[in-house]
Structure 1
Amino acid sequence: MSALEFDIVIRNAEVIDGTGSTPYRADIGIANQKIAAIAKPNSLIAPQILNANGLVVAPGFIDVHTHDDREVLDHPAMHPKLTQGVTTVITGNCGISLAPWLADRDIPAPLNLIGQRADYRYASVADYVAAVRAAAPAVNVGILVGHSTLRLNAMSELNCVANQEEIAHMQALLAEGMQAGALGFSSGLFYQTSQAADNGEVITLAKVAAAAGGVYTSHIRDEYNGVLDALKEACDAGLAAQAPVILSHHKCAGPANWGRTVETLAYITERRAQQPLGLDAYPYTAGSTVLDPDYVDGVIRIMLSFSMPYPEMAGRDLADIAADWGVDQKEAARRLHPAGAVYFQMREDDVQRVLSYPHTMIGSDGLPHDSHPHPRLWGAFPRVLGHYCREQKLFTLAEAVHKMTGLSAQHFGLQQRGKIALNYWADLVIFDPATISDLATFSQPKQAAQGIYWVLVNGEVALNADGPTGHRNGQVLNRNSEQLSADVST
């Protein structure tokens, strides 16, 4: 191809292609939003040259576990994700999705993590897809349909198993969502909105997703003492529904369970021999969700991420708030409700063991609407590459990139994404492997990463060394024959 036939050339880069293979040096030519050439270094020309000498080019990172359902609409520039090299987000995790639901009541936890009553205004996934396309986010968006959201549509009381009429209602809504392009079905049996559901209810819905080629992602019922039983429940549901399973943010929570990832990963390996099964994790010893007094034990540190009645308390430790008020931490948690919190509930060796597991994908699980969010919202992917890869040497750089690109695309069926190859969409990140790192901290969480030079989304430069360019070229990743499949064999 001549210079006029390429829109952009990335020159003389170290190519880490997303497969885990050995890096190599090359030029990459981009035309019509796709990778049009991979050639020997310094051999391609174009009107726009990105000089990547001394830098790595990798597929754009795929954040498989987000709660960006509303963020892609309200803040489509998507700075927290773009600045860490993320080019695709998957929304609707943990049974929580913004669609389908025309809210007819106050929003219960955990759905209040992503929106209030006025935000739940999409009667169908198709309506939500249209809204995302109109917002034109800077990153690609894949959608999961949440179990709790379906239950709120079909059930007036959530503290029981759904009856057949209610299940049929949920099945119809989910079938519409799959037809509109959703990637699958998610559950969060840990949360009160879905705790009363039995596995039979989950299976009937997972079957709908599976019939359309979708996945079943599970925030399991118990990540604490009952973690093994909860893993079995999730795997059994996928097996019965013939749906590939993805275990969300795998962990062993609480001091009584520290060290048990030896058991849980062994169990996951055993089940992988029987069924398609993957998992994701974030690179921190703290998680973040709603503030629940039942999980306030006075032992682990808990930091407030937001409080509706006491917004000025965000960023403070619950223990300090309780001391100021002269009450115990459980009472303080009750007064702060509705609220969110960061729970320092894991141990470092467990986190490293899960991250090192060959089949673990990376997901941020960030909560973009928290006033004082967990730093994973801005730093998860650079933290893997900098702290855990370069400094802790848990894996090679090629292996680290695979966990956030090719492996993720395979599990979620994203065709022509997650790999540097001819005719793949030009979702690319160019970074310095010697300096890439997260700057977001628990005290200062809204800090962009360093060491990223360019991010391209569908062939357009969305971020350069000066920051976001303003180009918003993301697509909704519909389930269709050109873009999606259900290959989760890796």
Structure 2
Amino acid sequence: MNNRFQVEFHFRNALIFDGDGAEPFKGDIGISDGKIDFVAPASECIEVISDKEYDLAGMALAPGFIDAHTHDDHAVFDPTKIYPKLSQGVTTIVAGNCGISLPPLTLNGQMPPPPLNLLGNSGLFKFPNMASYRKSLAKNGHAVNLVYLIGHSSLRIKVMNDVTREANSEEIRLMHNLLTQALNEGASGFSTGLFYPPNEAASEEEVVGVASAMKNHGGIYTTHMRDEGDDVIKSIDESLSTAKKAGVPLLISHHKCTGRQNWGRTRETLQLLEEHRPSLPLNFDIYPYTAGSTILQEDQVSEETRIMVTWSKTHPERTGQELGDIAREWEVSCKEAARRLKPAGAIYFQMHEEDVHRLLKSDIAIIGSDGIPEDEHPHPRLWGTFPRIIGHYARELGLLTMSEAINKMTGLPAKVFGLGKRGRIAPGHFADLVIFDPKTIIDKADYDNPKVPSEGINAVWVNGKEALNSGSIGVSNAGRLLQSDFS
């Protein structure tokens, strides 16, 4: 075995988490030309010549974290907007989720209908195809790697004159062809947001007709299901049926059971998913909080549910306030207060911690922040998801081992999205790395102060370039557009 190495960078004395879920070990790694050249346990005697050496005694080294669910479609262009992800150790993001994507939709000054407005204003919808989006990424550069999905709502708005109805056969054909084109130009999959108005009229037949474009090309189907509350089982059944008919892998987005009457039903949902694992590649992503966040919708408002306003176009001064407090001050119902605040965003406190625990422990769960970078008062998941998993759920609660937690944000999502040579500390793999203190890593953002960086992240490397060091942005253009490969 070769024990002499000449590399650009030598990382010594690290506690290495390989990303596969194995127990960590002390050792060294070397990287050159953006890839890992060697991995050596401390027990091996090696000789290393390097351009620069880093002593990581007391620190852990892991593959860079993969955020399986983001809305960073435009934020990826701006290092300051992607900082919340870098500061958590994220080196790869998946965007275009929940049926909303920038390409291939152009709005020509028209206001983006909810929920597309979560991505920003109409001026951002300027990419008629995936190729133009990819060209802009290459021209501007981006700090993290990007996996991109094409959203069904964006396709429907592009080809249909009325999205409140089911698409006809010609419209389905057009969307199928647009998705095929996008896959050829660098997209990795297709997402739906059947919960939202622009997408809710789509039938299963329509979704299958579009998603089947991925059957021979390759790609993954992700879905924000129609219902995560009373009809969650029915929605999972639809998702499973759609993926099987289209012949594609399935990823259920931000899986949860909302509403007090549905707390505990993750026992049912997990059993159902387990029953279908032999016949379908399937996973779900999850964030480690009991509240979600999206647009403010009157039909999601009840007097019993705690709701916090994340932004409001009509009453921006109410950002960060509780909907119930606003309603009492205005002497109206919560639904009426929501109507007056719209267009707006909100945090909904609808889940139970025991369900979060149960889902996190599932071996088909991967981690996605679902953060919304454009929100004035965002959900703390935007800044804290990944350190919270490791620091709180693994180290403090012992719900998972650190190795298991890290696997859910590295090796496992790399497999789910078909990202070869990513998500592991192994020779020949790309040098996406995070260096952190396993004794102190923890989230600091909360609902009152959501824009607070986490603690314990020492450095982040993207494709062999240092993108973050001690909280400061370094190389801001090392990211690449990645494309799924399920061959």
Provide TM-score, normalisation by structure 2. 0.97
Q: CA deviation at 1:2?
A: 10
Q: 1:421 aligns with which of 426, 446, 451?
A: 426
Is residue 27–residue 44 contact of structure 1 (8 Å, CA) maintained in 2? Answer: no
2:462 matches 1:457: yes
Q: CA deviation at 1:40?
A: 4.1
In the aligned structure 2, how far is the partner of 1:124 from the partner of 1:259? 43
SS in 2 for 1:218: strand
2:114 matches 1:95: no
Q: CA deviation at 1:466?
A: 4.4
Q: CA deviation at 1:74?
A: 4.0
2:57 matches 1:56: no
Residue identity in the other structure for 2:208: I
Deviations 1:66-86 (A, max 9, x none): 000010124466210000000
Which residue does 1:389 correspond to in 2? 394
Name stretches of at least 5 consecutive residues in structure 2 with no aligned partner: none
In the aligned structure 1, how far is the partner of 2:34 from the partner of 2:81? 19
Is residue 383–residue 437 contact of structure 1 (8 Å, CA) maintained in 2? Answer: yes
Is residue 11–residue 44 contact of structure 1 (8 Å, CA) maintained in 2? Answer: no
Deviations 1:234-269 (A, max 9, x none): 010000011000010000001111110010111111
Residue identity in the other structure for 2:93: V
Is residue 77–residue 138 contact of structure 1 (8 Å, CA) maintained in 2? Answer: no
2:75 matches 1:71: yes
Q: CA deviation at 1:379?
A: 0.4
Which residue does 1:340 correspond to in 2? 345
In the aligned structure 1, how far is the partner of 2:397 from the partner of 2:140? 40
Residue identity in the other structure for 1:427: D
In the aligned structure 2, how far is the partner of 1:40 from the partner of 1:255? 49
SS in 1 for 2:257: coil
In the aligned structure 2, how far is the partner of 1:34 from the partner of 1:431? 20
In the aligned structure 1, how far is the partner of 2:413 from the partner of 2:140? 25
Which residue does 2:147 correspond to in 1? 142
2:20 matches 1:19: yes
In the aligned structure 1, how far is the partner of 2:234 from the partner of 2:196? 16
Distance 1:16 1:2, change over 3 A: closer
In the aligned structure 2, how far is the partner of 1:336 from the partner of 1:75? 31
2:365 matches 1:360: yes
2:203 matches 1:202: no
Is residue 62–residue 435 contact of structure 2 (8 Å, CA) maintained in 1? Answer: yes
Which residue does 1:47 correspond to in 2? 51
SS in 2 for 1:84: coil
Residue identity in the other structure for 1:415: G
Is residue 100–residue 152 contact of structure 2 (8 Å, CA) maintained in 1? Answer: yes
Q: CA deviation at 1:365?
A: 0.2
Residue identity in the other structure for 1:67: H
Is residue 229–residue 257 contact of structure 2 (8 Å, CA) maintained in 1? Answer: yes
Q: CA RMSD in A?
A: 1.5
Deviating more after overlay: 36-45 vs 163-172: 36-45
Q: Give the 5 Å matches for 1:254-333.
A: 254-333=259-338
Q: 1:475 aligns with which of 475, 480, 485?
A: 480
Q: CA deviation at 1:211?
A: 2.2
Distance 1:302 1:62, change over 3 A: same
In the aligned structure 2, how far is the partner of 1:12 from the partner of 1:222? 48
In the aligned structure 2, how far is the partner of 1:75 from the partner of 1:156? 37
Deviations 1:5-30 (A, max 9, x none): 41111111111100011211111101
Q: Give the 5 Å matches for 1:154-165.
A: 154-165=159-170
In the aligned structure 2, how far is the partner of 1:448 from the partner of 1:45? 35
SS in 2 for 1:382: helix
Which residue does 2:29 correspond to in 1? 28
In the aligned structure 1, how far is the partner of 2:445 from the partner of 2:404? 24
Which residue does 2:486 correspond to in 1? 486
Deviations 1:303-348 (A, max 9, x none): 0001011111111000111111111110000000000000001000
Which residue does 1:183 correspond to in 2? 188
Distance 1:19 1:311, change over 3 A: same
In the aligned structure 1, how far is the partner of 2:228 from the partner of 2:476? 40
Is residue 302–residue 341 contact of structure 1 (8 Å, CA) maintained in 2? Answer: yes
Residue identity in the other structure for 2:196: Y
Is residue 387–residue 437 contact of structure 1 (8 Å, CA) maintained in 2? Answer: yes
Residue identity in the other structure for 2:23: T
Which residue does 1:481 correspond to in 2? none
Provide TM-score, normalisation by structure 1. 0.96
Which residue does 2:173 correspond to in 1? 168
Deviations 1:344-391 (A, max 9, x none): 010000011111111100000000000000000010000000010001
Distance 1:148 1:235, change over 3 A: same
SS in 1 for 2:27: strand
Which residue does 1:412 correspond to in 2? 417
SS in 2 for 1:88: strand
SS in 1 for 2:388: helix
Is residue 83–residue 463 contact of structure 1 (8 Å, CA) maintained in 2? Answer: yes
Q: CA deviation at 1:471?
A: 3.8
In the aligned structure 2, how far is the partner of 1:471 from the partner of 1:126? 22
Residue identity in the other structure for 1:452: I
2:223 matches 1:222: no
Q: CA deviation at 1:44?
A: 3.0
Name stretches of at least 5 consecutive residues in structure 1 with no aligned partner: 479-483
Distance 1:43 1:388, change over 3 A: farther
- Name the count of aligned residue pairs: 482
Q: CA deviation at 1:461?
A: 0.9
Deviating more after overlay: 214-223 vs 45-54: 45-54
Is residue 72–residue 135 contact of structure 1 (8 Å, CA) maintained in 2? Answer: no
In the aligned structure 2, how far is the partner of 1:273 from the partner of 1:203? 21
In the aligned structure 2, how far is the partner of 1:115 from the partner of 1:177? 22
SS in 2 for 1:169: helix
Deviations 1:75-127 (A, max 9, x none): 46621000000000000001011111111432110000002211100000111
SS in 2 for 1:141: strand
Is residue 77–residue 470 contact of structure 1 (8 Å, CA) maintained in 2? Answer: no
Is residue 426–residue 459 contact of structure 1 (8 Å, CA) maintained in 2? Answer: yes
Is residue 139–residue 475 contact of structure 1 (8 Å, CA) maintained in 2? Answer: yes
In the aligned structure 1, how far is the partner of 2:466 from the partner of 2:394? 26
Give the percent of matched residue pairs that are identical in Structure 1 and Structure 2: 47
SS in 1 for 2:273: helix
2:446 matches 1:445: no
Q: CA deviation at 1:4?
A: 9.1
SS in 1 for 2:138: helix
